[in-house]
Each structure stands twice: as structure tokens, then as C-alpha cells.
Amino acid sequence: MTLDTPTYSKHSTKTGQVEAYQRVQRVTTTWRIIHWVQALSVVVCFITGLFIAKPFIQTSSIYSALPFPIMGWSRALHFYGAMILDTSMILIAYLYLFSRSHRDITDLRPTPEHRSAFKEAALNFITFNRRRRFDTTKRDPLLAVMFVLLHLLLLLQALTGLQLYVANFSDNLSSVGSWWPQFLHFTTDWTATVFGGNVGVRMTHLTASWLIIAWAVFHIYYEIWRTIMWREGDVGIMFSGSKYVRVKDDANGS
């Protein structure tokens, strides 16, 4: 996060004063691409997953001699979307640990400073912005923890999904060899034990899907809430990579 030198002035209708703003670079282009790829993958996987669980579209047509293979396409899109989502999670884990610009894993250390910032961010949300005692130029610590919870849900979703996927292999054979089913069994069979068989795994997979959608709804709401309450353009971070911070707030550290 860096402050650009240009300063922008804006007349505040609330205070009647001219307020100075500076543009803060928050995320890189790489992070923005990953963010939108993940968002699109989640939407594709959710819609196709609903159809796979309970088909809600007629798959045959009176104008065609053969039924349109919509279930096959849904399964394929679901699988490809999941693979893209899993790959993006691996990339995010790498950037969290080894990024040259900013290693986000450092923001999750339970230091007194980070614990205090998390508490203040939560109080800021609960009190409707009547109390803001943390640096808004940096990542919101409350949102940082929320993203960790999201990726834990995505990891659970991936493991349970792969367990359901490998259960359809006959004789543990695949087009790329027997090593692939064996690897999937080795990494995901524990989910069948923990959740009581494939029925429990399927229910866990569906439950995690709805929790991820609930998280996405809260995330969108929270970004809009911050934009309205803070008046710093937070909703544009994942479009332009930057936001605007009042100079006086930044100087006071509030």
C-alpha cells in the first residue's frame, strides 16, 4: 500500500469544508485478476452444482432427435470451474507466503497491534462508523480474517468435491492412469470417514456451497457499506486497485 503524491480536493456537504484526499494503491493487477477469476468460478460452480444436484431444465427437445447433453456440459463446466478455483487457491497460498510486494501472511499474525486493529474494525462496523481507530489505508483486518474463512470453506469444498468425483471411477482407472485415482483417494478418503460416507460428504459439499454464497453476499454488502460510510471509494479497489483516503484521517491514524 503506497500513497501517491497527487492530492485531490472535494467539498464535503456534511461538514461544509473542503477535504483533501490522496490515492492509495491497495492491490496489484495480479490480485485483481485472481479475485475476478475466483468470483466467476464460484458463480459457475454454484449454478452448475445446483443443476447437478437437482436438474431444473428439460434436457430433451421436440426439435431434436437426440437429447441435448446438458447434464454432461454441466458436469464438465462444474469440474473445469472447480479446477480453476483450486489452481487460484494454490496461487493465492503462494502469494500469501512468498509475494515480493506484500506477504499477506504477516497481516494474520496475532500480534497486539493486529488484535487491536481487528477489534476496532469490528466495533467500527457494529457502531456504524461512529468509532474508527485503525488505519484505513491498509487492508481491513476484519475482512482479512473473513477471507481466511472463505478459503478454508473453498478448501473443504475442493476436498469433498474431489471425493465425490473419485467415487465415480470404476476399478480406480482413469484416462491419465491409475495414479490419479490413487492420489485422490489418498488425499480425500478421510472426508468419507469424518462425514459418514459419501452421503455425508455430499451434504457437506452442498452446505459449504451455501455458506460460500452467504459469505459472498456479506462481502458485497460490506464493501458497499464501507464505501458509503467511509467515503473513500473502497468498492473500486478490485476495479482500479486503489482507493482514496482523507489526508487528515490518515495523518491522525483514525
More confident position, 251 or 133: 133
- Which pLDDT does position 12 carry in this prediction? 62
Within the chain, residue ranges assigned H as helices are 29-53, 70-98, 112-126, 141-166, 179-194, 197-230, 237-240, 247-252
pLDDT-above-90 percentage for the chain: 56
User: Are 134 and 143 spatial neighbours (Cβ–Cβ below 8 Å)?
Assistant: no
Give dist(CA 74, CA 154) in Å, integer: 20
pLDDT, tens digit, 9 for 90 and up, residues 139-183? 888 988 999 999 999 999 999 999 999 988 867 777 777 888 899
Map grid coordinates 454464497 to a residue. 213
Residue 93 has pLDDT above 80, yes or no: yes
- Which pLDDT does position 46 carry in this prediction? 96
Pairing of strands 2-11, 18-25: antiparallel
Which residues are within 8 A (CB) of 63 and not within 5 positions of it... i.e. 6 or more apart?
none
The two most distant CA atoms of the chain are separated, in Å, by 74
What average pLDDT does this structure show over 48-73? 73
Give dist(CA 40, CA 44) in Å, integer: 6
- Which pLDDT does position 228 carry in this prediction? 94
- Which pLDDT does position 196 carry in this prediction? 95
pLDDT, tens digit, 9 for 90 and up, residues 180-202? 889 999 999 999 999 999 999 99
For residue 82, what pLDDT band results from cuts at 50, 70 and 90? very high
| Paired residues of 242 in beta bridges | 25
Decide: helix, strand or coil at residue 49: helix
pLDDT, tens digit, 9 for 90 and up, residues 219-234? 999 999 999 999 899 9
Residue 253 has pLDDT above 50, yes or no: no
- Which pLDDT does position 174 carry in this prediction? 75
Give dist(CA 199, CA 167) in Å, integer: 11
Neighbour-count burial of 58, counting CB atoms closer than 10 A to its CB (0-12 exposed, 13-18 middle, 19+ buried): exposed
- Which pLDDT does position 100 carry in this prediction? 82
User: What domains lie within the chain, and their CATH numbers?
Assistant: 2-58+73-154+215-252 (1.20.950)
pTM of the model: 0.85
For residue 67, what pLDDT band results from cuts at 50, 70 and 90? low
What would the grid cell of residue 96 be?
500469501
- Which pLDDT does position 251 carry in this prediction? 41
